[in-house]
Amino acid sequence: MMKILISMLISTMIAMLLMLMCTIISKNMTMDREKMTPFECGFDPKSSARMPFSIQFFLIAVLFLIFDIEIAIILPMMITMKTSSMMTWTTTVAVFMITLILGLYYEWKTNMLEWSK
């Protein structure tokens, strides 16, 4: 009975200490205007919505999505190598890699990879 009371007292004290620390930490955090904005796209959300959008930001976002999808496709290819025939797997990987390389070459030739225009 005494062990139960001691463990309840200790757990209550830990809970109170955690609540106290949480209130102390939350008071020290200042919320300025930049932290309160929900956007991360490089323009002021409080201003006019008809401002021109940054094409460089859009291109960076699209390239990030493309590379993200590439990784999501390439990683399972290593797992399927064991279960599929080697000729089919090699052909699939070669076509995928050639498509990626041709896309990168096209982006390079059309100067889409230059960030400072």
**pLDDT, tens digit (0-9, with 9 covering 90-100), for 59-114:** 778 878 888 888 888 888 888 888 888 899 899 889 988 998 898 888 888 887 77
Residue type (1 letter), 47: S
Report pTM. 0.47
Taken in order 37, 41, 46, 49, the sign of the CA dihedral is negative
Cα angle 20, 23, 27; round to 5: 145
pLDDT digits (tens, 9 = 90+) for 22-49: 877 776 566 666 666 655 555 665 666 6
- Residue 92 phi/psi, 5-degree rounding, is -65, -45
Which residues have C-beta within 8 Å of that of residue 43, sequence separation ≥ 6? 51, 53, 54
Question: Which residue type does 12 have?
Answer: T
Which residues neighbour 57 within 8 Å (Cβ) at sequence distance 6 or greater? 41, 42
Place of tokens 């290819």: 77
Q: Do the Cβ atoms of 51 and 43 come closer than 8 Å? A: yes
Give the pLDDT of residue 9: 93
